[in-house]
Amino acid sequence: MLHAGLRKVFDFNTTAGFMESGGWRLPKFAAFMVTAAETAGGIGLLLGVLTPLAACAIIAAMIDAWAVNVAAAAFWSDPFNAPFLIGVGATALLFAGAGGYSVDAKVLGRSRVSFRIAAGLLVLAIAAALLTWEALNGTNPIHFTAPQAA
């Protein structure tokens, strides 16, 4: 994730252009949001710093990235792509915690949060992804048949 985020940082105009060509409203804002989530979330997961919040950001970004990949075809045509799998991995870290060698464990004295907090952050990530998609893209990415060409 950090790699993907840094690529967007150093080539931000291409990211914003991709968002604009995809029909996103406020493409620079959308590009900033995904860049920040992938960069900060990637650093957080890599070092184990505020791991639950980092995982929440990555999950939200990967839900939208997954939606970009499946929006042009039938919903189940390619459901298990890279963003989907990265989102599953971030969800696992959200619930399992960062581990004993993480900054969270060394500084905060714990490497994981309670199940209730993890579940709440998962719901927050899903809500953030859906609200971001609807507010900035304005379409429903989930189709059971391929969309008709306009």
Asked if 30 and 64 touch (Cβ cutoff 8 Å), the reply is no
Q: Which amino acid is at 130?
A: L
pLDDT digits (tens, 9 = 90+) for 123-141: 999 999 999 988 898 876 6
pLDDT digits (tens, 9 = 90+) for 55-87: 999 999 999 988 887 776 655 666 678 899 999
Please give the Cα distance from 80 to 28 (Å, whole number).
Answer: 28
Please give the Cα distance from 15 to 30 (Å, whole number).
Answer: 9
Per-domain boundaries in the chain: 2-136
Top-confidence residue, 137 or 13:
13
pLDDT for the residue 142:
63
pLDDT for the residue 74:
59
- Percentage of the residues of the chain whose pLDDT score is greater than 90: 63
